[in-house]
Amino acid sequence: MKSIVYLSFLVSLIACQSKKEISQNKKQTDTVSTATIPNTDDTKEFLAFGFSNESGNKILAFEEGIKPDYFTQTIDYQNNITPIKFEGFQKGTESGVNLVSSNFKNCAGQVFLVSDNKKVQNDLTNVIFNDAFLKNHSLISVKTLSQPIKIDESNKNKISAERKRKIKEAWKIANLDGENVFIVIFEPKKDSILASLVIGDKSYIYRDYPAKFDVGSTWRVDDGGEFPNDAIKVLAIFRNKVGELEIITEWAGAEGANIEYAKANKNRFVTIKEASRYWGAL
C-alpha cells in the first residue's frame, strides 16, 4: 500500500515539474517572439525622395512611413552614388510647408547625413535607396546638356510619323548611352495639347503630358500655356534585371515640383511611384 502511495506521489511530482518546465519554456519563447528585433531584410528594394539642406551635406526624406534604416545611398543627376547614414527624425514646425533647402530646418521627415564629406546638389530632388535596389538595377549613364538643343530632323520626322501628329517644337536635353532624351511639343488639336518626354533613337519610349489649353495655366499653375524645354529634369535612369528601362524625373513649376519614378512598358512609361514638393508660399 505504501508503495502505491509513494508511486502516486512520485508521478505527481514529475508531472508538476514537467508543467513548470513547459511553463518556463513557453514564457521564454513568448519573450523572444515579442521582443523588438531590428528588421534586417536586405532583399527588398526601397526607394524614396528627399531634398538637401543649403550646404548639401544632409538630405531630408519627406515621405511618411518609410523605414530609415533601409536607406544607404543617394544618387544625383550626374550619376554620382554616395553613401548616406540615418541621423534622426526631424519633427518640423508650422513653417515647414515649403520643401526647399532654405527651409530645411522647419520641415518634417527623416534626416540622412551624406557620407565621405561629400555634398549633393540642393536645387533638385534627391533620390535615396537601399543596397538591394542597386543590386537589382544597373545604372545608365545620363549626360544632361548644359543647354537644350533643337532636335535633329531625322528623329523629329520619325517621332512625328510614329505618333501621327505634327511637331511644333522639340529639343534634345540629354544623352543616354548612345541614345537621346527629347522634350517634344506637338501641334495642338483644337484645345488638346500634348507634350512628351521621349527616349530613344531607332525606337522610342514616351512619357506623355496631355493637357487642355488654358492661356494662364495649361500643364502647371501660371505656366502661361507654355512647356519650357528645361521643364523636365532626368534625375536617374536604370535598367532592371529583366532589361526594362526605369527613369526618375522631376517636373518643376511655379508652385512646386512633381517627382516620378516610372518603368518602360513597350513604348510607354508607366508610373511606379510619385511624389511632390511644394514651394508656392515662398
Provide DSSP, 216-244. S-SSSTT-TT---TTSEEEEEEEEETTS-
Pick the residue with more confidence: 246 or 41?
A: 246
Whether pTM > 0.85 for this model: the answer is: no
**pLDDT score, position 38:** 38
pLDDT at 24 over 70: no
Q: Give per-residue pLDDT as tens, 54-95.
A: 999 999 999 888 888 889 999 987 788 999 999 999 999 999
Mean pLDDT calculated for residue range 169-184 = 94
pLDDT band with cut points at 50, 70 and 90 for residue 132: very high
Average pLDDT of the chain? Answer: 86
Distances (CA, A) of 187 to 31, 78, 94, 156, 191: 68, 32, 44, 13, 10
Mean pLDDT calculated for residue range 26-40 = 33
**pLDDT score, position 76:** 82
Q: How many CA atoms lie within 13 A of 205 on its CB side?
A: 18
pLDDT at 201 over 80: yes
Mean pLDDT calculated for residue range 216-239 = 92
Mean pLDDT calculated for residue range 255-275 = 96
Nine-digit cell string for 69: 534604416
**pLDDT score, position 77:** 75
**pLDDT score, position 135:** 95
Q: How far apart are CA 101 and CA 85, in angstroms?
A: 19
Q: Contact 173/229 with Cβ under 8 angstroms?
A: yes
